[in-house]
Amino acid sequence: MSLTHSQIKARPAWVREAEALRLHVEKLCQGWPAEWVDVIHREWAKRRTVNAQASAAWGFGLVGQLRAAERAGVVHGDTDADLCRKAEAEARQMAGLLDAVSVRVARARASKPAEWVKRLTVRAQAWTVRNDLRRRGLEDHIPKAKHNTAGGIVSRARDPIFWRRILRGIHAKVMEGAAIGLGLVHAGRRGGCYVSAQSLKRRRGQRARNAEALARTVAVNERGEAETIANLAARGVANGAVRRAELMTRISGFELIANDLGHRATMVTVTCPSRMHKWRRGKVLDTPNPAYDGTLPNQAQAYLAKQWARFRTAAARAGLGLYGFRIAEPHHDGCPHWHMLMWFKPQTTKQADSSLALGLLLGRYFLSNDSPDEPGADTYRIKVEAIDPRKGSAVAYVAKYVAKNIDGMHVGADLYGNPALESSARVEAWASTWRIRQFQQIGGAPVTVWRELRRVHPGAVPMDAAQQLHDALMMVNVAGVDAVMGGPESEQDEAQRIRAGWAAYTMAQGGPTAKRKAHTLRMLRDQHGEANRYGELGAPRAAGVQATTFERVTVGICTFARPRRDEVESERSAWVTASVQPEDKGSIPRVVQRLTAVMQQRQGQIEQRQQERAARGEAARPWTRVNNCTPEPIGYSVHRTPKRGEVFKWAKVRGGGGSQPKELSDEQHENHPRAHRLPDMRHP
């Protein structure tokens, strides 16, 4: 029954005002879920009683955030299938726009050379793509890698996979940010702990799709071995159990080093200021934080990272020599905090107590820099706890933080009483949604080289190679050494070798506080020269380990140090993959047979190219991506393996899509103005 104008006018003013606000909110939030509209109206009305201007700013800010997502192409109710369809539509629309740009450039520059018009067209299309993404607030998704080209940007704009990645990321972050703003993320009865129910459901669906895709993708290598990608991934750090074991091994190795050097261990917890927390924890129930300024978890993570960078620089100047691990995990409302297990020397370079210097620096960069006088800041913002080795090891102290942020294994319940096996899934969804790195090493040697050493066969290392390479390999590659020299005497000896592997590798690299430029062992990478799906030169791939040392050389009566580099290849295989389609289900052997034929054909082509190179007197390039040749510079072509004092043959050609390799004849090369001699950097 509708009311007359006189009846509406006779109603109290506060009733008319509430009704007007309700209609206004419904108009702004048209098409959104009813529960979202109710929450926005309730919060808007509650804030309006205190401050009408602040209430309007809050409401329009939240609505504007969601409308920005709609401008980017996503809405709250989109499923993954909807996002995939929208990505295909974006690619088709962008392809039409780029084709129109190509036609206009061709008409406007019809009198110019074809190659010149082609390069101009690519640049104009790349500018169009950048401008379109910038207009829609997506400029952060423009690739900024070193080898990206204008042609690669244009190819990405035509690719539905590129748009699918953008739309999925926007949908995840914006919808979760709206859920936080609406108060749907907290440990209370009406909220979701760490992450909203919608984001948890989205992440579970994504993991299920990934698992299905990996399970029906078959790979075959050059030896004829066939495996599904799911089985291969289960052997690496993608497996939660393997990842947890590797982290605990590295932490145990740091503890062994600290015990030998007499370093102290301290557990530090730092969190964000109160203004970044949406909710306040109470003894009975949670209450919204009136000081919350709308900071999202990824912004809070950036704040902690910025303060950590300043703290780390000051700690290095003070000579603390920190090393250890950092673990990022969420509060119940999604705001991140950090747990840091750090070892350091008892005294700084200025002969001051390191514990006192550490506390002062933490207070300067994580407390005094932002709202130091807020209630509870001294108690909750920074917690420093020295670890007494007589009461327990640092590894046992941090094990629960590692487990509950991976798979919750061997952890009963989290801080809020939820089962750890369930809460770990929410933590993983939180980290995936906001792109937050959960674990990060502080100091020490790079883990990439350590992993690569486990791929090196001990028999491939020359006897006269650097001693650091031998020492690290003997302790890290336990399986390989056992295969050559026999297994350990007992299981206890094997366990001790595994625990000491990271410690031995770190000391071979110069110790836990050595700088990267002082590391002896580095990754050996091979520029394979293959292009990615967007026509750009791919990044160099890992091929092994190289050791850079100095050796003493005597020439006549003079003795001097000369750089020496030892390169050792790792054991790798080349794989070809194919997805098992529904019609091929139950016929995996046929897929394996087809892939084997493809691999044999590829091997035959590479062997043919090697024979042609050998006929021309050039070095035969291995058909796998592992070789011991000098890596090829990007955009250049090396015709044969350069020897001492030999001319290095290369040429660079500038074009519309970046530099392209070009082969020169011997006569052209001898007259090339930029030909030069390779420096003699090899050992005898």
Q: Are 151 and 122 in contact (CB under 8 A)?
A: yes
Residues near 173 by beta carbon (within 8 Å), at least 6 away in sequence: 296, 298, 433, 434
401 is catalytic: yes
Q: 169-196 burial by CB neighbour count: b if 16+ within 10 A, else e?
A: bbbbbbbbbbbbbbbbbbbbeebbbbbb
Distances from the Cα of 159 to the Cαs of 94, 135, 156, in angstroms?
A: 9, 19, 5
Closest residue by Cα to residue 474 from 507, 447, 443, 445: 507
H helices of 414-490, in order, are 420-434, 447-453, 467-476, 478-485
Closest residue by Cα to residue 535 from 159, 238, 274, 226: 159
Element spanning 223, H or E: none
Angle in degrees, CA 269, 275, 278, rounded to 5: 90
Report the C-alpha gap between 421 and 432 in whole angstroms: 17
The owner of tokens 């791929």 is 455
DSSP letters spanning 527-571: ----B-TTS-BPPPEEEEEEEEEEEEEEETTEEEEEEEEEEEE--
Closest residue by Cα to residue 133 from 119, 147, 151, 154: 154
Maximum distance among all alpha carbons in the chain?
Answer: 114
Q: Are 263 and 335 in contact (CB under 8 A)?
A: no
First to last CA, the chain: 99
Report the C-alpha gap between 343 and 599 in whole angstroms: 50
Q: Are 32 and 66 in contact (CB under 8 A)?
A: yes
Exactly one of 292, 303, 365, 401 is catalytic; name it.
Answer: 401
Q: Both tokens of residue 470?
A: 């031998």
Report the C-alpha gap between 534 and 532 in whole angstroms: 5
The sheet with strand 217-221 has its strands ordered as 226-228, 217-221, 575-579
Q: Are 207 and 433 in contact (CB under 8 A)?
A: no
Report the C-alpha gap between 307 and 452 in whole angstroms: 32
Exactly one of 397, 505, 534, 636 is catalytic; name it.
Answer: 397
DSSP letter at 347? B
Cβ neighbours, 10 Å, residue 351: 7
Helix (H), strand (E) counts: the chain: 22, 17
Closest residue by Cα to residue 328 from 343, 315, 341: 341
Q: Are 645 and 680 in contact (CB under 8 A)?
A: yes
636 is catalytic: no
Q: Are 287 and 279 in contact (CB under 8 A)?
A: yes
Q: Both tokens of residue 600?
A: 């044999």
**Is the sign of the CA dihedral 66, 69, 73, 77 positive or negative?**
negative
Q: Which residues are catalytic?
A: 397, 401
